[in-house]
Amino acid sequence: MWKRMRRRAREGRRKRGRKRREKDGGQDSGEAGEKEEAADSALNVTRLKSLNSLPDNTAAGKVAKPPARVIATAPGAKQASKAQPYECIFPATDPFDPQLKSALKVYPPLDCSKHTANIVYLENFVAKVNHSKLSLVLSDGYNFSHCRCKEIKRKNGSDKDVKYTWTSETFTDSLALEPWQENIMTECFDTKKRAISRSYFPLIRVKNETERFLKKNYKKYATHNSPLETLSILVLGIDGMSKQHFERSMPKTRNFLLEKMGAIEMYKYNKLAFETFTNVLALLTGHTPEEFYKDWHYNQTEFVDQINEAFIWTDARKIGYRTGMMLDTYNLTAFHYQKKGFKESPVDYYQRQTVIASERDKLMRGNDSNCAGDISEVTQIHDYWLQMARTFGKDRTTPFFAYSFAVRITHDDCNLAYEGDDVYYKFLQDLVATDSLDNMVIVWFSDHGPRFGPIRETYNGRIETSTPYIFFVFPPWFERKYPKLISTLKINQNRLSSHFDTYETLRDLLYFKAGEKPSGKLSERGISLFREIPKERTCQQAGIPSEFCACGRLSRLNLTNQLQSLLGMALLDRINSFIGHRNSSTLSSFVLSKNSKHTINEGNSFLPVNFSDSNVHRHSTDILSDSTSRLPSEQLRKKCSPLTLLAVERVYHVTNDQLQSLKTKTYRVTIKTTPGFGLFEGLVNYEPGDSGYVMGDIVRINLYRGQAECVQDPWVRQFCFCVK
C-alpha cells in the first residue's frame, strides 16, 4: 500500500507538471516526464540511504550521519545552490518517507453505517420518514409509532447551551416545515414510547429582513465604489494538518482540487503559532490576540463579541454579503476552547444549535464522535455550505462570505485524516455540481501541522508542524480576465507567506480592484498574495515567530555533556517560571567559558528555523500574569508540581542563510521532564563567555490530557502537572 501511494503521488506530480509545461509552452512533455521521473528516482534513493542512516534517537556524544542536502520543496522552486543569498528556503520533505511508516496508521474510509440509523430525511424542506430503514432501529416485538419535529435555538447569553422552542404535531410519513425554521431535530418513537432515532438538520433559509438590509448595503457600496467583481468567498479549514500529511492522507481530495478545480497551492506557507486560535485569528482579522488585549481579555470571562468588528465577515456584511459560520464541536473550536464564544450571533447564518444538540445525543453518537447516526458529522457541515451555494451562490447580487473549520476528525490524531478523504472528495464533487463556482472563490486551508504524537516527534515532523497548507480556487474565467493577478499569485507560491497574507488577500477579494498593484514591502507584516512578496522576506518581517519558522537548517550535534545539560536546564528553568517555580538548581541564564571543550558536528541536514533577538513576544511573563493566566505565581506554585529534567532528548544547531551576521549560536533543544514525562521543545541562544537565554515560546510536543485539570488557562496547562 505504501509503495502504491508513493507511486500515485509521483504520477500526479508528473501529470500536473506536464499540464503546466504544455500550458506555458515549455519543453516536450514526454521528455520532461522522463527527466522528472529520473529525478524522482534519484531523489528517493538519496533520501532512503541518508534517512535510514539517521535514527531520531541518536545517543548523546555520537556523531550521526546527516541526510543528504537535497532541495525539492515545490514545483518550480530553485535548488538551494542556485537560490538567492537571502531567500527563505524551506527544507526538502518527502511525504512518503519510509522513516515515517512507524508513525503513520492508514485508516479505512469513515463508515457510519453501523450506528443508529437516521430514519428521517429532508426533501425541499419537507421531513420524510424512510420506512425502509425502520427495521434497522426497531427491536423485536416493537413497532414504529410516530415522529415529531422540534426547533432548536441558542439560550440567551450563551454560546454553549440550547433550548427547544417549538414541537410539531406527530407524523408517520411526512411533515412540511415552516419557512422560518432554521435548526430542526426530528425524533421518532416506537410503540413503547422509546426514542429509536433522531436526526438534526441545519437549514439555510432566506431571511426577508436580513435580505432587505444586505441589499441596501450592497447597492450603496456598488454605487460608490463600482467594484469590478463581486465574488462569494468560501473559507474551509481543517485542524492540525500539514501540507505533507494532506498529500499523504487525502490524495483524492487534493488531486481533485488541483486537477479538476485548478487550485493554486502556496508552497512556502508558514504557521504563526502553536495553537489554532492565534492562527485563525490572523487569517480572519490580520491581528494577534495580544493586539486586542486592550479591548478584550481572551479567556473564559469575556465574549468574543467585543472584537467581532475586527473580523473580516463584519466587513463583508457591511458591503452586502450574507455571512455564515459553522464549527463542528461545541467546546474545541478556536472561539470556545477555554473561551465563552459569542453572546450574540456574529454572522447572519451562525450554525451552533444543531452541533451542540447533536454532540450531546448519546443515542446517535455512540462511540464514534465523527458520526451523527449513520452519516458523518462532516457531511452535515458540508451540506450546510451546499445549501448556501445553491441559495445565494448563483447570483452576483447575492454574494456570501462563509467560514468553516473542522476539528473533529484530526484534532486528537492526524492519522484519522485518512478516514475523511472520501467525505471531502465527495463534497468537492457536489460543490462543483451546484454550478455556483462561476461566482465563488474557495480558500482551502489548515491552521498548523501536527502538534503532538508520533509524527511530530520524527525528523520530518519538526518540519511538518510549521507547514500548513493553503489552496485558492478561482472561477474558471478569472485567470483569462485577470492574468496579471494570477501570475503574481503564482510567483508568490514560492515566497514566504502566512495567515496574515491570506487576510490581506481576502480583503482584496472583497474590495475588488484590478489594475497594477504595487509590490509588497519588507516592512509589511501582511501582504496580499495579489502583490508580489519580496524574495528576501524573513520570518521576522512576516510576523512569524522564530520557533515556528520553516526557513533554515538544523544540524546534528556532538556536544559535551556539560553544554547539553546547560541548554536543557535553561529550557527547564524557563518552563518552571511559567508555573511559579524557579529553583536555584536550574539556570535561566548561564555562562560557559570560551575555552570550554565542546565539539559541534555541523552537517547539512535541513530542518526549520529563523531567529531574531527582537522576535520574542506573545507569552512573556507580564502578559501571562495579566491577560491569560490571571493566577499569581504563588497560586500556580501550589497547583503545579515543579518539573525536573529527566533527559536532554535532542539538540540541533540552528543556521539560517538569511541571518548570517548573527554571532550567537542558536540551538533547538528537546527535553523530557518528570513528573508527567512531558516532551518540550524550544530555542536557546548561547555564545561562549556570554549568557544564554530561551527565545520565544516553548511548546509541548506530546499529549498531557488528564495532567493539568487543576488550571484553566490553555497555555499554562501544557506545563502544569497538577499536585495530587
Please give the full DSSP string across 403-424, using - where no structure is assigned: EEEE-TTTSS-GGGHHHHHHHH
Structure confidence at residue 712 as a pLDDT band (50, 70, 90): confident
pLDDT for 626 equals: 35
Tell me which of 122-136, 203-217, 344-358, 654-668 is least confident.
Answer: 654-668
pLDDT for 140 equals: 87
DSSP-assigned beta bridge partners for residue 202: 183
Asked whether residue 623 carries a pLDDT value surpassing 80, the answer given is no
Tell me which of 2-11, 193-202, 225-234, 649-658 is least confident.
Answer: 2-11
Structure confidence at residue 167 as a pLDDT band (50, 70, 90): very high
Q: Looking at residues 223-252, what average pLDDT do you find?
A: 95
pLDDT tens figures, 630-665: 466 788 888 999 999 999 998 888 877 665 555 678
Asked whether residue 276 carries a pLDDT value surpassing 80, the answer given is yes
Name the nearest CA neighbour of 46 among 23, 21, 65, 25: 65
pLDDT for 87 equals: 86
pLDDT for 40 equals: 39
What is the rounded CA–CA span in Å between residue 705 and residue 700?
A: 12
> Which comes out higher in pLDDT, residue 1 or 653?
653
pLDDT for 92 equals: 82
- Mean pLDDT over all residues of the chain? 82
Phi, psi of 73 (to 5 degrees): -75, -35
pLDDT tens figures, 139-158: 988 999 999 999 999 998 89
Q: Looking at residues 562-580, what average pLDDT do you find?
A: 91
pLDDT for 86 equals: 77
Helix ranges (H only) for 80-119 are none
- 39 by Cβ neighbours in 10 Å (0-12 / 13-18 / 19+) ranks as exposed
The side-by-side arrangement of strands in the sheet containing 174-176 is: 120-123, 126-129, 174-176
What is the rounded CA–CA span in Å between residue 294 and residue 212?
A: 35
Asked whether residue 596 carries a pLDDT value surpassing 60, the answer given is no
Asked whether residue 333 carries a pLDDT value surpassing 50, the answer given is yes
Answer yes or no: are the C-beta atoms of 402 and 350 closer than 8 Å. Answer: no
The highest-confidence range among 67-76, 228-237, 607-616, by mean pLDDT, is 228-237
The highest-confidence range among 60-69, 74-83, 510-519, 597-606, by mean pLDDT, is 510-519
DSSP tag of 345: -
Q: Looking at residues 162-178, what average pLDDT do you find?
A: 95
Parts of the chain belonging to CATH 3.40.720.10: 228-298+362-507+517-544
Answer yes or no: are the C-beta atoms of 529 and 488 closer than 8 Å. Answer: yes
pLDDT for 597 equals: 34
Tell me which of 15-19, 278-282, 543-547, 703-707 is least confident.
Answer: 15-19
For residue 140, the tally of other CB atoms under 10 A from its CB is 4
Q: Looking at residues 241-249, what average pLDDT do you find?
A: 96
User: For residue 722, which amino acid is it?
Assistant: C
**pLDDT above 90 coverage of the chain, percent:** 59
For helices 499-510 and 276-285, give the axis angle rounded to 10 degrees: 30
pLDDT for 678 equals: 94
What is the rounded CA–CA span in Å between residue 559 and residue 590?
A: 16
pLDDT for 2 equals: 54
- What separation in angstroms does the CA of 415 have from each of 103, 242, 248, 425, 450? 9, 11, 10, 17, 10
> Which comes out higher in pLDDT, residue 635 or 261?
261
pLDDT for 6 equals: 62
C-alpha cell at 639: 497547583
Radius of gyration of the chain (CA): 27
Ramachandran bin of 668, using left for φ above 0, alpha for ψ from -120 to 50, beta for the remaining angles: beta
Structure confidence at residue 410 as a pLDDT band (50, 70, 90): confident
Phi, psi of 301 (to 5 degrees): -95, -15
What is the rounded CA–CA span in Å between residue 556 and residue 340?
A: 44
What is the rounded CA–CA span in Å between residue 724 and residue 721?
A: 9
> Which comes out higher in pLDDT, residue 440 or 53?
440
CATH class, domain 228-298+362-507+517-544, is alpha beta
Asked whether residue 82 carries a pLDDT value surpassing 80, the answer given is no
